[in-house]
Amino acid sequence: MADDSFALSCPAPALAEERIQLAHGSGGRATERLLDAVFRPAFANPALDRRHDGARLAIDGPLAFSTDSYVVRPLVFPGGDIGSLAVNGTVNDLAMCGARAEYLSAGFILEEGLDIATLRAVVDSMRAAAAAAGAAIIAGDLKVVDHGKADGMFINTSGIGRIVARGVIEPQAIRPGDAVIVSGDIGRHGIAIMATREGLGFESAIVSDCASVAGPALALCESGLAVHCLRDLTRGGLAGALCEIAETAGLAVEIDEALVPVRDDVRAACELLGLDPLHVANEGRFVIFVPAAEAAAAVETCRRFPVAVGARIVGAVAAAPAGRVTARSAIGVRRVVDMLSGDQLPRIC
Amino acid sequence: MKFRDEYRDPEAAQRLAAAIARITTRPWTLMEVCGGQTHAIVRYGIDELLPPAITLVHGPGCPVCVTPVDYVDKAIEIALRPGTVLCSYGDMLRVPGSDCDLLAAKARGADVRIVYSPLDALAVARASPGREVVFFAVGFETTAPANAMAVFQASREGLRNFSMLASHVLVPPAMRSILASPGNRIDGFLAAGHVCTIMGYEEYEPLAAEFRVPIVVTGFEPLDILEGVYLAVRQLEEGRAAVENQYARSVRRAGNAPAQEIMREVYRVVRRRWRGIGEIEESGLAIAPAYRDYDAEVRFGAVAAREEAPGECISGLVLSGERKPSSCAAFGTRCTPEHPLGVTMVSSEGACAAYYRYRRTPLPAAAE
Amino acid sequence: MCLAVPGKVLSISGDDPVMRVARVDFGGIVKEISLAYAPEAGIGAYVLVHVGFAIAVLDEVEAGRVFEHLREIADIEEELAAGSARA
């Protein structure tokens, strides 16, 4: 009862507990205390402050909508955490549709026993990422599950945004002859995650590339260039994104491995663990398909943004064979690039 | 990176390929016995640079592929025991046992952890005194000394909660078995450069002499493999049959003495069954009696030998080089990395997986 | 088999030969590697590393042989070209 006297202007209302308990998810006083102590101060905005079941928006179309769930382990890694991943992931998905994220929701499933300091850090990351993207988190939900049922925490974010692109951006818009551009060096996120895992650790300055790519993506969309397709790279790496797109578009994609940017330290880590950089996860990179004649201008546009300063043309689209992605190897021979069936595992062989 | 990038130079690769084409006057079939070389060949497209008269065949060079199914089953059984931690190299996680694989066991709640080095498994044991830590040790002679060192150190420390499930295989007996088989068409071998880094190449000299085949100890980068092929073809064209060392920056004739010493200390040579091939005498390593306290088979029960029903899978024939993956009726259709019928498709080093991943269908002729 | 990569020894610690380890630079990432099987490796040496163990010290002189060979091949090509030009 004494908790009611806290004012929302207090930056971080004290919470007696250090760890999440089942009571925090039951919707009663404990839940309210947690929301007041951790979530509301971080995500404060008029809609959220009304504390109603849903947020009313006045937003006119055309709109894009996206949702994603995040189950990453570890929760905190070099360069980010599950929170920044969750916000940037949805902001990026909307940007790939040519839309600027405006409103986000965040649903949390917390594991009993999660320490609240970690939760605060994650929520603060989300606040920062949303602010950087110019988006507000206006709706949310919180549940707590038994110890052992949630890997710390799971987060779902959904987002809505206004489409700023003029044309329709999708794989079906791609044409033979289009240039394939990647927004920067690949493989940082996957290696940063691996470096923190027991047994695969090494001293490294490799930090996840987790970031919003809305800046360069939307600049391309508003530039007047004929952007045919955008796709952010995530778990399947560059190879995964290109394979999906080639398949959906019914076209072939040919890249040159020598042109795909990979940092020396990421390449060294891949060599050590027997991983192919093309299949390593990214969280702050995207591919762009534009007509060949506009490729140089597209790269220019990207490079104005720190997150895409490494943008490069890496290949081109061909008419056939449909769905096939090939790469010219270091010694000049072409080979097929396929999607992997599961996560790439380190090998000794 | 020095000692790596310079061996991937495209111009030098083309020159070596051209040199091979120039000296080749007849068809020759060469076998490489190393998953790592298979991987490099298919990934870089090295076989596409070779003249059509040279056929490169992939041998049983994938220790993951040849690990008997009963060892995989044992590893899974151990992993599913409460209070146990099963540490393994990443390669083994998707290899199918009779029922499931280690990844599926992990999904069922088994504590299965990927390690980069056997010393990491030892670290897990030290950090978790209340748990039984078992390291699933597979590999050829390259990996055997590293695996042995984990047991050696554990023994010196008196670490009670660590043991190793060992299923090692040796290369020369497998090569002998292939050379001695009646249908053998292999004209020459590229010997595995990292196996030879440990063991040297003295033990290949009797094979070269007895079967009159050139054996070239070869490295793993594109220029190494191309040079290895060049030297083998040159010998064949000149009618010679000797052991030659292409990988001299790493391999010495006597090999690595301290590594061999620890291997002799910790292991004994045994008869081993090679998945898809069958039993080969004196072709494997098991833990020596002096280290029985660290032998998971002693601690958790011996591995029960089990015959495997072949079905449609021809992995045995692929492993012995008699068939190419692309010649299998199920290749790419009923058998894919998503739904593998056999080990050569499961392991990323397996010839079938390598073929599938890097070239599922022949590339269009107009390609380059 | 088997995946082994070259790296440069930055520093070494440990007196017991079995427990001797080095910090090895693989081109931007550094990892602690056992030198139990490479007792002759010193600081600045390039070693070949497999599953956390240095299994060989890379020999620079021998490493150059591939390129010597390539030069011989280039010489042969030149001779052949000159020969066919004369013919």
Domain A171-336 class, CATH top level = alpha beta
* Size of chain C in residues: 87
Average model confidence (pLDDT) across chain B: 89
- Pairwise CB contact (< 8 Å): B15 & C74: yes
Q: So what's the pLDDT on residue B198?
A: 98
Q: So what's the pLDDT on residue A16?
A: 79
Q: So what's the pLDDT on residue A312?
A: 98
Residue B64 in this model has a pLDDT that exceeds 90: no
Q: Measured between alpha carbons, how far is B134 from B139 in angstroms, rounded to an integer?
A: 16
CA dist B24 → B15, B30, B42, B51 (Å): 14, 13, 22, 8
* Size of chain B in residues: 368
Q: For A150-169, how does the pLDDT look when each residue is reduced to its tens digit (9 = 90+)?
A: 889 999 999 999 999 988 99
Percent of chain A whose pLDDT exceeds 70 = 95
Residue A1 in this model has a pLDDT that exceeds 70: no
Q: So what's the pLDDT on residue B337?
A: 76
Q: So what's the pLDDT on residue B309?
A: 63
Residue numbers in C near A269 (CB within 8 A): 26, 29
- Pairwise CB contact (< 8 Å): A330 & B44: yes
Residue B368 in this model has a pLDDT that exceeds 50: no
Average model confidence (pLDDT) across chain A: 90
- Cα angle: A64, vertex A65, A68; to 5 degrees: 140
Q: For B261-298, how does the pLDDT look when each residue is reduced to its tens digit (9 = 90+)?
A: 999 999 999 998 887 677 889 999 999 999 999 999 99
Residue A109 CB neighbour total at 10 angstroms: 20
Q: Measured between alpha carbons, how far is A47 from C51 in angstroms, rounded to an integer?
A: 55
Angle between helices B222-238 and B10-23 (to 10 degrees): 10
- Cα angle: B108, vertex B113, B119; to 5 degrees: 155
Peptide bond just before B206 cis, omega within 30 deg: no
User: Which residues are registered as beta bridge partners of A181?
Assistant: A288, A313
Residue B319 in this model has a pLDDT that exceeds 90: no
Q: So what's the pLDDT on residue A130?
A: 96
Q: Measured between alpha carbons, how far is A71 from A278 in angstroms, rounded to an integer?
A: 22
Q: For B181-192, how does the pLDDT look when each residue is reduced to its tens digit (9 = 90+)?
A: 888 889 999 999
Residues 6+ apart with CB under 8 A from B15: C70, C73, C74, C77
Residues 6+ apart with CB under 8 A from B233: B20, B23, B24, B28, B30, B54, B188
pLDDT category at B366 given cuts 50, 70, 90 is very low
Q: Which of the two residues, B343 and A258, has the higher pLDDT score? A: A258
Q: Measured between alpha carbons, how far is A83 from A41 in angstroms, rounded to an integer?
A: 16
Residue numbers in A near C30 (CB within 8 A): 202-204
Residue B145 in this model has a pLDDT that exceeds 60: yes
Pick the CATH number of A28-163 from 1.10.20.60, 3.30.1330.10, 3.40.50.720, 3.40.50.300: 3.30.1330.10
Distance from CA of B263 to the nearest CA of C (A): 11
SS (H, E, C) B278-309: EEEEEEEEEECHHHHHHEHHHHHCCCCCCCCC
Percent of chain A whose pLDDT exceeds 90 = 68
Residue numbers in B near A329 (CB within 8 A): 43-45
Distance from CA of B201 to the nearest CA of C (A): 15
On the 0-12 / 13-18 / 19+ scale of CB atoms within 10 A, A207 is middle
Distance from CA of B333 to the nearest CA of C (A): 27
Rounded to an integer, the average pLDDT of A119-144 is: 94
Q: For C25-79, how does the pLDDT look when each residue is reduced to its tens digit (9 = 90+)?
A: 999 899 999 999 999 999 999 999 999 999 999 998 888 888 888 888 777 777 8
pLDDT category at B216 given cuts 50, 70, 90 is very high
Q: So what's the pLDDT on residue A10?
A: 47
Residue B71 in this model has a pLDDT that exceeds 60: yes
Distance from CA of B285 to the nearest CA of A (A): 18
Q: Look at residues A91, A86, A90 and name the one whose alpha carbon lies nearest to residue A75.
A: A86
Q: Helix (H, G, I), strand (E, B), or coil: what is residue B191?
A: strand
Residue B49 CB neighbour total at 10 angstroms: 23
- Pairwise CB contact (< 8 Å): C53 & B249: no
- Pairwise CB contact (< 8 Å): B114 & A268: no
Residue B107 CB neighbour total at 10 angstroms: 11
Q: So what's the pLDDT on residue A289?
A: 98
On the 0-12 / 13-18 / 19+ scale of CB atoms within 10 A, A11 is exposed
Sequence-ordered alpha helix ranges (H) in B182-291 = 193-199, 205-211, 222-238, 257-266
Q: So what's the pLDDT on residue B359?
A: 65
- Which subunits count as partners of chain B given 3+ CB pairs below 8 Å? A, C
Each domain of chain A, given as residue ranges in start order, spans: 28-163, 171-336
- Pairwise CB contact (< 8 Å): C69 & B227: yes
CA dist A254 → A218, A328, B41 (Å): 26, 8, 20
- Pairwise CB contact (< 8 Å): B360 & A347: no
Following CA atoms A246, A250, A256, A257 in sequence, which dihedral angle do they give, to the nearest 10 degrees?
A: 30
Q: Which of B12, B120, B140 sits opposite C2 (nearest CB)?
A: B140
Q: Helix (H, G, I), strand (E, B), or coil: what is residue B89?
A: coil
Peptide bond just before A11 cis, omega within 30 deg: no
pLDDT category at B105 given cuts 50, 70, 90 is very high
User: Which residues are registered as beta bridge partners of B55?
Assistant: B29
Q: In what order do the strands lie in the sheet with B278-287?
A: B111-114, B84-88, B132-139, B162-169, B278-287, B267-274
Asked if residues A311 and A299 have their Cβ atoms less than 8 Å apart, the reply is yes
Q: Look at residues A285, A339, A340 and name the one whose alpha carbon lies nearest to residue A314.
A: A285
* pTM of the entire predicted model: 0.89
Q: So what's the pLDDT on residue C52?
A: 95
- Pairwise CB contact (< 8 Å): C73 & B19: yes
Residue C80 CB neighbour total at 10 angstroms: 11
pLDDT category at A7 given cuts 50, 70, 90 is very low
Q: How many helices (H) and strands (E) does chain C have?
A: 2, 5
